[in-house]
Amino acid sequence: MTEDFPIVSGVCELRQSVAAFRKAGMRVGLVPTMGALHDGHLSLLHEAKKRADRVIVSIFVNPTQFAPNEDYDSYPRTLNADADKIAETGAADLIFAPSAREMYPTNFATGILVGGPARGLESDHRPHFFAGVAVIVAKLLIAATPDVAVFGEKDYQQLLVVRRLTADLGLPVEIVGAPILRDADGLAMSSRNVYLSQAEHAVAVRMNAVLKQTGDSLRRGTAIVEAEADGKRALLDAGFQSVDYVAVRDAATLGALETLDRPARLLAAAKIGRTRLIDNMAV
Ligand code: PAF
């Protein structure tokens, strides 16, 4: 099946395809991914297909969003299997799978610094992360010029950073957030779940349960600082080795909240073995 599915690796070819879609009066959607696709990603393609006539999926393991001690080298790269899965959805039309050299030509020296929602949370623990995401997402949007781009709410902070970035740079694209897909046991789908041993998986599934308990406790009136501390303790008791944060933030800005007086988001990040998991939900 892979042989039949159109894959382009150059920005010029991508632009030619997009120009042909536009000439035919079509609306174009983009789903940026790093590959190793699971059903959560595939649900993003379906979201894009609802809003666009032609859907492009980018597959690129972006080196600049990994720190030297992170899993860039071992990150799963499964292009053929990904292409088969994409073809089976019937919801996408083209894969853009560039090389690192295509996206980062020799002497590449440009950075994008996003403030606002990029501050705190992930940035406290992965300070390089949003700089890398901002550059690659901007480059993908400039290359593909989609009308709409879909990002998963699993990376909720990333979604808000992308919204800020596109608004601030005036990129003419609608950014759509798609709901988190979970396994039957509640674990949020993630390409990194493949790293989990069976024992670690049993701990990992507790993250969603702890977030639910914390959300319930907040709704019963527990103070935010207390609920965050209880959530952190509950993750450690569940077997996580370390907890980067359990935090309740303004759902639109990720600014700090003293009380639940507006839509809020509960976010968590914790490590089990060599795997760092994140999850979040509305409160
Ligand atoms: O969420 C991801 O998979 C990546 O951060 C993204 C948005 C594709 C940028 O590399």
CATH number of the domain residue 201 falls in: 3.30.1300.10
**Residues 134, 28 within the same domain:** yes
**Residues 69, 96 within the same domain:** yes
Please give the pLDDT value at position 174. Answer: 98
Mean pLDDT of the chain: 97
CA distance 150 to 104: 23
State which of 147, 178, 209 marks the end of a domain: 178
> Which of 62, 66, 60 lies closest to 79 in space, CA to CA?
60
**Predicted confidence (pLDDT) per residue in 214-263, tens digit:** 999 999 999 999 999 999 999 999 999 999 999 999 999 999 999 999 99
| Ligand 1 geometric centre to CA of 34 (Å) | 6
Residue 184 belongs to a domain: no
Number of domains in the chain: 2
State which of 117, 149, 178 marks the end of a domain: 178
∠ Cα 46 49 55 (to 5°): 110
**Predicted confidence (pLDDT) per residue in 152-174, tens digit:** 999 999 999 999 999 999 999 99
**Residues 202, 133 within the same domain:** no
Please state, for a pLDDT cut of 70, what percent of the chain lies above it: 99
**Predicted confidence (pLDDT) per residue in 161-211, tens digit:** 999 999 999 999 999 999 999 999 999 999 999 999 999 999 999 999 999
**Residues 29, 90 within the same domain:** yes
What DSSP string runs through 212-272?
Answer: HHHHHHHHTT--HHHHHHHHHHHHHHHT-SEEEEEEEEETTT--B-SS--S-EEEEEEEEE
Query: Would you say residue 3 has pLDDT above 70?
Result: no
Residue 254 belongs to a domain: yes
**Ligand 1 pocket test: which of 56, 139, 155, 189 has the largest number of ligand atoms within 8 Å of its C-beta?**
155
**Residues 170, 103 within the same domain:** yes
- Mean pLDDT for the stretch of residues 122-131: 97
Please give the pLDDT value at position 235. Answer: 98
Strands 275-282 and 264-272: antiparallel
The boundaries of the domain holding residue 261 are 191-278
**Residues 106, 35 within the same domain:** yes
Please give the pLDDT value at position 263. Answer: 97
CA distance 202 to 237: 13
**Residues 109, 244 within the same domain:** no
Sheet with 242-250, edge to edge strand ranges: 242-250, 264-272, 275-282
Residue 34 Cβ inside 6 Å of ligand 1? The answer reads yes
Residue 283 belongs to a domain: no
Residue 2 belongs to a domain: no
Please give the pLDDT value at position 2. Answer: 55
Residue 52 Cβ inside 6 Å of ligand 1? The answer reads no
Q: What is the dihedral of CA 74, 80, 85, 87, to 10 degrees?
A: 150
| Ligand 1 geometric centre to CA of 175 (Å) | 14
> Which of the two residues, 45 and 1, has the higher pLDDT score?
45
**Residues 112, 161 within the same domain:** yes
Residue 141 belongs to a domain: yes
State which of 178, 206, 239 marks the end of a domain: 178
Strands 94-96 and 54-59: parallel
**Residues 221, 140 within the same domain:** no
| Ligand 1 geometric centre to CA of 57 (Å) | 11
Confidence of residue 93 (pLDDT cuts 50, 70, 90): very high
**Residues 147, 229 within the same domain:** no
**Residues 250, 158 within the same domain:** no
Please give the pLDDT value at position 4. Answer: 84
**Residues 151, 244 within the same domain:** no
